[in-house]
Chain A
């Protein structure tokens, strides 16, 4: 008996060691590219091109960031993206709660039919072109509305929120409130929403990330430069390699063609960091709600 216990403990020790090795591999393979990009953004372009940067910055410089903050389009893109994110997310969350609460009520007549109406859209769609034509026919092409209204309700987020309402708001609570003469409107505003902050934090984050990272709608719906969100500007610079270095030359002293190319390269690394940083700063605060929000929302019920 004793013998067996000891052998198994030994087996479990190997398990634990292997487990830490596996997790370290996951950790390193995810972390390293992020770390490299961050380090490269603070290194001189010469050090990047000649392959001297491996882990930490080499020839520390802020030229890349100077170039980013002096790029006119980047600023307006940043401003537009913030606007689309703030207003868009507010619309999203409001619509989601308005749909999720009634559908969480077991006494809602026609609940299954309405639920099917929503869920069916995740399995079948009319496709890109009819969607494009709709936005066009509604006169939203090249307006801010094209960035805010289409797709304003994420069905999965609605389902998660609905399940959360179902599991975290006991029937007795509703009955007690109704006995006190509380209407459905005020129940949502005073009870359901305050009690569901974890799931609301999570869907707010998902929607906000969706808006911040959205490029395709802007790409097909917007024509005016002054409406461009950051992602479109990023596409110009990172993908199309359309860096207007001439415009930057006044900020950072560059003369030769090689230096210009180096600067545009450095600018890209800095730009990647600047474009991603806002979300990287926000999400750890919401992360603790992932467990409560997503787990309860998606699994139980």
Chain B
């Protein structure tokens, strides 16, 4: 896992001959690569090049090159804007909340599944817990709207049946982040546990046998064998998650947003969309700057956390 995630894998075998002879011998491989590389260059690297409009005053009828350089104007405007701290606070709090709530459950599920003797039970739990992963964001939010409806929804039927007042879940800013995060946990728990199951399956059975001979019960085997065994995977996932700290599921948030919960639901990504594509101003440069600000912070965090993990002799991306 750790070496595979990034291209720093050094094969020992099959490094023979001069570069030119190797290229000529494997020319068909380069033909195969041409199309995918072309795609990634067009759809990922051209936008990176286009991100220079963050430092320009881009007008839609001029080209990217024809627009005037304005330096850090949009950056300064953003960090001094009224929205800046609110956006940052909401983005980080949703992100941290998701991370904390989303981390333990897949691990718990994987550990539990790992000790189930009855195959049919294990299979059905896996099958059913994966299922929500296949529900689209739109349908997911649709389900939330129906179930949490103050008059018609089952959640409020249950609340009123217990003698409490119905709650306007989606109209209350304080509920927004919890609904967003826990519906996400519900949707992803089964799917996220696959990778831990894989890690558990790759633990050397001899370790378990040795532990049993030493008289360890199952609880101790989890603690001394299983948890250390999935640690590298957990660390890698943590690093990747840190690298997406400022990316939150804007597709879902945009659907769940309304004017009443905006104070806790507006995040950087939704703001980027609104400033450029959903406002009369069409402020492309400003919006691009905000997006770029986000990407740079994400990359910095990724490098920093990866560095810390390396320092601590944990698994790391590179």
Contact = CB atoms under 8 A, between A and B. Distances in A.
Consensus secondary structure, chain A interface: helix
A142 B215 CA distance: 67
Interface stretch (A63-71, A131-139, A244-252): A131-139
A134 to B, nearest CB: 5
A299 B141 contact: no
B60 to A, nearest CB: 9
Contacts, number: 304
A11 interface: yes
Interface in A104-152: 105-109, 111-119, 121, 123-134, 149-152
Contacts of A201: none
A231 B116 contact: no
A12 interface: yes
Contacts of A271: 142
B108 interface: yes
A165 B196 CA distance: 22
Given A27-B128, A107-B22, A238 B145 contact: yes
- Interface size grouping (class) on chain A: 35 or more
Contact of A133 (B157, B190, B194, B284): B284
Contacts of B41: 117
A283 B134 contact: yes
Nearest to A31: B128
A169 to B, nearest CB: 13
A58 to B, nearest CB: 12
Nearest to A275: B139
A251 to B, nearest CB: 22
Given A95-B35, A184-B28, A131 B215 contact: no
Interface string A167-181: 000010000000000
A279 B129 contact: no
Interface in A188-215: 188, 209, 212-213, 215
Interface stretch (B1-9, B76-84, B93-101): B1-9
A149 B42 CA distance: 10
B29 interface: yes
A116 B7 contact: yes
Interface string B23-66: 10010111011011101111111111111010000000000100
A231 B136 contact: yes
A8 B157 CA distance: 46
B316 to A, nearest CB: 14
Contacts of A263: none
Interface string B120-159: 0100111111111011111101110111000110100100
B29 A184 contact: yes
A8 B215 contact: yes
B145 A269 contact: no
B263 interface: no
Interface in B171-202: 186, 189-190, 194-195, 197-199, 201-202
Nearest to B198: A295
Contact of A112 (B9, B137, B269): B9
B6 A132 contact: no
Contacts of A114: 7, 33, 37
21 contacts: A29-B186, A30-B186, A54-B154, A95-B36, A101-B32, A124-B299, A126-B47, A126-B51, A128-B273, A129-B272, A129-B276, A130-B46, A133-B284, A213-B135, A213-B138, A234-B138, A268-B142, A280-B131, A291-B201, A294-B198, A300-B202
Interface of A: 4, 8, 11-12, 15-16, 19-20, 22-23, 26-27, 29-31, 33-34, 36-37, 40, 48-49, 51, 53-54, 95-96, 98-99, 101-103, 105-109, 111-119, 121, 123-134, 149-153, 155, 158-159, 163, 171, 183-185, 188, 209, 212-213, 215-216, 220, 231, 234-235, 238-239, 265, 268-269, 271-272, 275-276, 279-280, 283-284, 287, 290-291, 294-295, 298-301
Given A238-B142, A280-B134, 16 more contacts: A23-B112, A27-B129, A29-B186, A53-B154, A98-B36, A126-B291, A128-B276, A128-B277, A130-B288, A132-B276, A134-B50, A185-B28, A215-B138, A272-B146, A275-B139, A284-B127
